[in-house]
């Protein structure tokens, strides 16, 4: 827990869809429970069967999401695909800060860079890099949660997102999941102690 007068640091984990960022974020939350709290993103997509509103995402209607954009309620937001919005509410950072923990984000690549730009040295941006696009496609297909059209769209987007990796503070290759988890933990632990 942080002393109340210290502002929380922000750990931003981003990657193309299917690269393992969510698995790595959950690992960090498991091994650093007293230090990190998950920033729940908002979105306007339909809830998947295993998802819980207010735990996995804040599921908003498109109209509600757009109203919050107009009101300036988001730290960052993105129309990830046409009429598919994701974003981080400012209230989430305040909510976590009030608990005395640091904030950890699982966000898309552009959202990550937007948060980093606003919070500068208070934020650590980590890019999880898949071994290659073919491996990424195989992981997405293995989830069995997407249509083939959706997978194709995500694979195409992943190729463009890979170009942003150099803009992140750290790049971690997720070729072997356990090694990637260890690397990210070491990077985050060092940042939090600095």
Q: Using one digit for the tens of pLDDT, what is the confidence trace for 126-148?
A: 999 988 777 777 777 777 677 78
Question: What pLDDT does 43 receive?
Answer: 95
CA–CA gap between residue 134 and residue 138 (Å, rounded): 6
Model confidence over 101-129: pLDDT tens digits? 999 999 889 889 999 999 999 999 999 99
Token pair for 141? 């297909």
Contact in structure between 157 and 14 (CB atoms under 8 Å): no
Model confidence over 45-58: pLDDT tens digits? 999 899 999 998 99
In terms of Cβ atoms closer than 10 Å to its own Cβ (0-12, 13-18, 19+), residue 176 is exposed
Contact in structure between 187 and 135 (CB atoms under 8 Å): no
Residue partners of 11: CB distance under 8 A and separation at least 6: 28, 36, 102, 103, 104, 105, 123, 124, 126, 188, 191, 192
On the question of pLDDT at 3 being above 50, the answer is no
Contact in structure between 142 and 154 (CB atoms under 8 Å): no
In terms of Cβ atoms closer than 10 Å to its own Cβ (0-12, 13-18, 19+), residue 147 is exposed
Residue 64: closest CA among 48, 43, 79: 43
Question: What pLDDT does 6 receive?
Answer: 64
Architecture field, domain 10-193: 3-Layer(aba) Sandwich (3.40)
On the question of pLDDT at 88 being above 50, the answer is yes
**Beta-bridge partner residues of 87:** 42, 77
**Beta-bridge partner residues of 59:** 43
Question: What pLDDT does 58 receive?
Answer: 96
**Between 133 and 15, the higher pLDDT residue:** 15
Domain ranges of the chain: 10-193
Contact in structure between 152 and 158 (CB atoms under 8 Å): no
């Amino acid at each position: 827990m942080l002393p109340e007068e210290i502002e929380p640091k922000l750990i931003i984990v981003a990657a193309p869809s299917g690269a393992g960022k969510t698995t790595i974020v959950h690992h960090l939350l498991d091994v650093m429970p007293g230090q990190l709290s998950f920033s729940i993103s908002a979105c306007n997509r339909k809830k998947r069967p295993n998802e819980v509103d207010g735990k996995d995402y804040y599921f908003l209607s498109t109209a509600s999401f757009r109203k919050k954009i107009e009101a300036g309620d988001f730290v960052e937001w993105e129309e990830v695909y046409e009429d598919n919005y994701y974003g981080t509410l400012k209230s989430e950072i305040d909510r976590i800060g009030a608990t005395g923990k640091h904030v950890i984000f699982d966000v898309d690549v552009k959202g990550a860079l937007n948060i980093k730009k606003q919070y500068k040295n208070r934020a650590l941006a980590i890019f999880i890099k898949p071994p290659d696009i073919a491996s990424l496609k195989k992981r997405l297909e293995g989830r069995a949660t997407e249509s083939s059209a959706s997978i194709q769209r995500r694979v195409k987007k992943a190729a463009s997102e890979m170009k942003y990796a150099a803009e992140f503070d750290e790049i971690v290759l997720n070729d072997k999941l356990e090694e990637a988890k260890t690397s990210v933990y070491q990077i985050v632990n060092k940042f939090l102690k600095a």
